[in-house]
Structure 1
Amino acid sequence: MSAAGDLRILQILRAPVGGLFRHVADLTRYLATQGHEIGLVVDSVASDTQTETLLTALEQHASLGIHRLPMPRQFGSGDLRTPFAVTALARRLKVDILHGHGAKGGFYARLASYGRHKVKVFYTPHGGVLHFPANKPSGRLFHGIERHLMRRTEAIIFESAYAQRTYSALIGAPTCHSAVIHNGLRPEEFEPITPQADAADFVFVGELRNLKGIFPLVDALAQVTRPDGQPARLVMAGDGPGRSALEARIRALNIADRVDLVGSQPARSVFARGRCAVVPSLAESLPYVVMEAAAAQLPVIATRVGGIAEIFGPTADRLIEPNSAKRLADAMGRVLADPDGARSEMRARLVHIKAGFSVKRMAGAIEGLYRGATRR
């Protein structure tokens, strides 16, 4: 540890974009403002313009630098070399904390701690290894590695109680310290968004793939009409491997004039194009888009998967079962028929999210774990 008592922290992650990266970016910015020195280890293989733009924006907060090492999605030769490179980097930077994010980040961080008894290792799964089923060879392999590496872990930080329960069921209850620390939003994200005058009835923001529930969503839309008898409209923002199949389903349902596919755009800029956000996912961990839409003061329809009930808090009874176009259509119809009731639910949800889902609360709790570990 430095003479001033500030920590030297190395964050290790593979995912270049998405919720995991967003979490690390928010954590990095907060820790830097608290006087800590932060470095990042990221994948040198999966790099594109969007990734580089995001990393460039973080450079001013990463005084220990941003370091690129090969992190293959599947196990490969990089998995044999990268842990040694992380070990050498941690030694050269004289870090106090290694924090691995996701399956690969957690793997490298804990292997890099071998032979370095003073460094403290933290691990946040972010889904990662939890997505591997226990009844398949890949799942048995990854879960076995997790159980072995637990002894090298100071603490496992779960972003939801759901993730903690799933980890314990698949891998076993952590033998190290563990904590649930929800992801959080920045203060400006709680500024309300006013829908545009020509806003659609519903808005979806997410990757266009089956797991996000895009097909039940358009099937449901085909069944929904407004109280004035006009067909409901939907804006969908995002891209992904399911786009062609989605476009085909929309044509087959004869609702192309009711669905506007606008491509990948920042969530807050798209929220203004709809009056109610819909998150029809078939599986999730703790999706930022639910928090973001609720903080922007939009009514939200969502499925009861992952940790979404933790975000919904006092309104969790309004969640619907996943993969049911009928139940989704019923929920969409209720919002259109009773907009005042939907706004009332939104306000109750907003109070809950403001109290427990801020970046300051999230990052402050993680910083507290770091400091507690270095005192021991």
Structure 2
Amino acid sequence: MNPQDVDLAVTGYRVALREGVWRTHPAFGVLLLLLAERVRSIRVHAPQMPETLAAECDFALDDPRIRVFPWPVRVNSIGALRHPLRLLRQYRALVASGDVVFLRGGGPMIWSCHWMARRVGKPVIHWLISNPLAALPAAQRGYGRLVEFAGRVYTRVDAAMLRLGLRISRAEVIANGREVAALYRCPRAKVIVSSTIRASDFHDRADTCTGPGVRLLFVGYVRPEKGIEHLLRAIPLVRAAAPVDLAVVGSWEEFPAEKDRLTLLAGSLGIESRVTWLGHQAFGPALFSEMDASDVLVLPSLSEGTPRVLVEARARSLPVVATRVGGVPDSVVDSVDGLLVPPRDPVALAQGIQRLIEDGELRRRLIREGRRRVQGWTVDAFVEDIVGLIRGMPANLPPSR
């Protein structure tokens, strides 16, 4: 199949309409703009976010080859499941709109796209982002025990249905890490480390932790599964000659109660004045300036796919300490290009941070090796992988009978 003759039907992230322009998250938007240069057109089908929750949708989809077909406003998957027939109609329109269907991540009843695509003979590429079974219980997100039980049942059934759907559609699978590929039983999946970084975004810095203080950086959504609580508990345990502060970059609009809880925790630990909540910072100069002003990136997550921020930080010559969960070990090799510690362990996290602060030779080696290792994980390389999959697809698949 010639990619330049392909209309690509895509879903996978939310969109927001601002100042007459459709926008999405940079991690999705950069990929779409680069793909638009390689295919005939892109039709994006995605839920529209309410303006109050759309801070991270700051990347303009202003290429005329990209058309957006918004779905009704919803905050989360629970909202979509209240209208299953409408959701199925949206998926049917998605499948009908393109020559190739490109699905990013999970989503309520996303498995139905595979069944629909097989029925009409449309090839599918599915980029699997993370392990939904590893997410925190819903009760810890504030939804209550009943929703937690229903969520567990639904998640397991949905994962089983998606495994079946992948077989039915004969989809080409891209997986963020080996754990995700194993969960969906896709031994032929292309295992990747996801990234939004481009070659021009790399920044060469020889060392960090050389100033009068140490600035730790966390980048990600302020959600329970990000493990920020354990990072806050680790900070008083770091025994460093220089004062240690923390900057938190990330949106908390979906979970304001979590941010309030963490603020209270910082106060009870006596470190409230050492923690700065910066909110969402746009990918690009705003985010890069925070990385360049920091000494160590810390990712204390309880569950993950292959976090983009670990690639972005190393590309900016920022050493990383992360927890050994999900696809993180596919991205970071312990003591080679970063440090890995167990999750939910503030003591181990503090020891990893302190080790980086005190051992300059180790720190400089991790910076050099980290920057070198992520050079092959640019978004441009990922686009080439996707285009290669399209090129290898047959022009027509036989529809199911």
TM-score by length of 2: 0.79
Query: Is 1:148 aligned to 2:152, yes or no?
Result: no
Kindly provide the CA deviation profile for residues 3-60 of structure 1, in whole angstroms up to 9, marking residues without a partner as x: x95211011124459xx9544323311222224311100113x332674994771131
Aligned to 1:96: 99
Q: Gaps (5+ residues) in structure 2?
A: 17-23, 138-148, 397-401
Runs (5+) with no aligned partner, structure 1: none
Identity %: 23
**Number of matched pairs:** 359
Q: In structure 1, what is the Cα distance between the partners aligned to 2:213 and 2:279?
A: 17
Q: Does 2:239 correspond to 1:225?
A: yes
Residues 1:343 and 1:14: Cα distance change in structure 2 (over 3 Å) = same
Please give the alpha-carbon distance, in whole angstroms, between the structure 1 residues aligned to 2:317 and 2:9: 35
The Cα RMSD (Å) is 3.2
Match of residue 19 from structure 2: none
Given the alignment, which residue of 271, 288, 302 partners 1:268?
A: 288
Query: Contact 1:83/1:112 (CA < 8 Å) preserved in 2?
Result: no
Q: Name the residue aligned to 1:304.
A: 324
Contact 2:25 2:58 in 1 (8 A): no
Match of 2:281, SS state, is coil
What does residue 347 of structure 2 align with? 326
Secondary structure at the aligned position of 1:282 is classed as: coil
CA 65–49 in structure 1, closer or farther in 2 if over 3 Å, else same: farther
Task: Work out whether 1:123 is the aligned partner of 2:126.
Answer: yes
Corresponding residue to 2:246 among 234, 243, 259: 234
SS at match of 2:218: strand
Instruction: Sort the Cα spacing of 1:336 and 1:265 in 2 relative to 1 into closer, same or farther, 3 A.
Output: same
After superposition, where does 1:10-25 map in structure 2 within 5 Å?
Answer: 10-16=9-15, 21-25=25-29
Match of 2:391 among 343, 368, 371: 371
Q: 1:141-192 CA distances to partner (integer Å, 9 max, x unpaired)? A: 2133213322024222212223112333xxxx56xx5322332322232134
5 Å-filtered alignment, 1:1-376, equals: 5-16=4-15, 21-44=25-48, 46-48=49-51, 51=54, 54=57, 57-60=60-63, 63-70=65-72, 73-74=77-78, 76=81, 78-88=83-93, 90-91=95-96, 93=97, 95-104=98-107, 106-107=110-111, 109-113=113-117, 115-117=119-121, 119-127=122-130, 129-131=132-134, 136-150=152-166, 151-168=168-185, 173=186, 178-184=189-195, 185-192=197-204, 200-227=214-241, 230-240=242-252, 241=255, 242-266=258-282, 267-313=287-333, 315=336, 318-355=339-376, 357-375=377-395
Q: How far apart, CA to CA, are the structure 2 residues paired with 1:27 and 1:292?
A: 15
Question: Does structure 1 retain, via aligned residues, the 8 Å contact 2:322–2:340?
Answer: yes
TM-score (normalised: structure 1): 0.83
Which structure is higher in strand share? 2
Q: Which deviations, in whole Å up to 9, do the C-alpha atoms of 1:57-99 show, x marking residues without a partner?
A: 1131x525100124761253543223334434654x4x21011
Shift of 1:231: 3.3
Q: 1:234 to 1:23 in 2, by over 3 A?
A: closer
Partner Cα distance (1:53, 1:223) in 2: 33
**TM-aligned CA distance change 1:16 to 1:163, over 3 Å:** farther
Contact 2:25 2:59 in 1 (8 A): no
SS at match of 1:68: strand
Q: Check whether the contact 2:26–2:57 (CA below 8 A) recurs between aligned residues.
A: no
Q: CA deviation at 1:344?
A: 1.1
- Whichever structure has more helix as a proportion of its residues is 1
Q: For residue 318 of structure 1, report the CA deviation from its aligned partner.
A: 2.9
